[in-house]
Amino acid sequence: MDYLSSLAAVAIAYLIGSLSFAVIVSRVMGLSDPRSYGSKNPGATNVLRSGNKTAAVLTLALDALKGFVPVLAAGLLAPRLGFGEATVAWVGFAAFLGHLFPVFFRFQGGKGVATAAGVLLGLNPLLGLATLATWLIIAAFFRYSSLAAIAAAVFAPFYQMLIWGGGAALLPLIAMSLLLLWRHGGNMRKLINGTEGRIGQKAASAAPAARAAGANIAPAAGASMPHRGTGKKKRARRR
């Protein structure tokens, strides 16, 4: 095994994963920074809360691709560069880790659901589809993206063990699942308390503007009232 090539592949995958497309897409499309509203998570689900479905779809696709492409490239280049299945799996983990702790965005990243899905599809398309089906079923029934992600994270390593018998990809998969569960700790508490936002629920970004507009209207209304009251007093004096 060529350890230098393996380390280089892992490092490159981490840098690719560090591209926070939720922030990048929002900036390009003139939207608010997803870290400033809703769950403050730079991911597709929170971008959807802005009301811009195109931005959310682009974020989802690009976040998945940054997990899929490094794994696919590592798999294609493995025979030439001299690394095996384990290195390919750790390349996927590095891309996922880059999304969670992006070096280009002060290590403040998302929760990694879409990127993890891309990694799984690159490592084993059937495993990726099985995990994605788990996410879709839970999301369709309960309308909670976080709950669907938690269920998918729990089932993915079990699918790998039960169907494909573990292998070199099992340890990176377990590491990804544990990190996904850790990143969703706050969501778990919100689910228990019944305060978790549902899929498609918009963030209350217009509230400050509405309050500001109300504040501007109130003085004007208040200013007109003394005038009317003064008129009534004058009429009373005339009588």
Cα–Cα distance list, 212 to 31, 65, 204, 217, 220 (Å):
20, 41, 14, 9, 13
Residue type for position 33:
D
Four-residue CA torsion sign, 55, 58, 61, 63: negative
DSSP character for 195? -
At 202 the pLDDT is 65
Same domain, 50 and 27: yes
Domain contains 228: yes
Same domain, 25 and 111: yes
Same domain, 113 and 226: no
Domain contains 200: no
Q: Which tens digit of pLDDT belongs to each residue from 149-168?
A: 999 999 999 999 999 988 88
Domain contains 199: no
Task: Please give the residue that has the higher pLDDT: either 15 or 233.
Answer: 15
Residue type for position 201:
Q
**Of 174, 10, 171, which is closest to residue 78 (Cα–Cα)?**
10
Task: Please give the residue that has the higher pLDDT: either 174 or 219.
Answer: 174
Same domain, 145 and 188: yes
Cα–Cα distance list, 42 to 60, 61, 99 (Å):
11, 14, 9
Same domain, 22 and 60: yes
Same domain, 175 and 239: no
Q: Which tens digit of pLDDT belongs to each residue from 18-76?
A: 999 999 999 999 999 999 988 888 999 889 888 899 999 999 999 999 999 999 999 99
At 203 the pLDDT is 57
Domain contains 198: no
Same domain, 22 and 87: yes
Domain contains 18: yes
CA 197 to mean position of chain CA atoms: 13
Indicate the number of domains in the chain: 2
Per the structure, the complete domain to which residue 18 belongs is given by 3-193
Find all residues with CB under 8 Å of 15, minimum gap 6, and list them: 98, 103
Inter-residue contact 95 to 67 (CB < 8 Å) = yes
Q: Which tens digit of pLDDT belongs to each residue from 89-147?
A: 999 999 999 999 999 998 989 999 999 999 999 999 999 999 999 999 999 999 998 99
Same domain, 111 and 222: no
- Taking the whole predicted model, whether its pTM rises above 0.75 is answered as yes
81 class by beta-carbon count within 10 Å (0-12 exposed, 13-18 middle, 19+ buried) = middle
CA 212 to mean position of chain CA atoms: 31
Q: Which tens digit of pLDDT belongs to each residue from 186-238?
A: 999 999 999 988 876 665 543 343 344 344 434 444 444 444 444 444 444 44
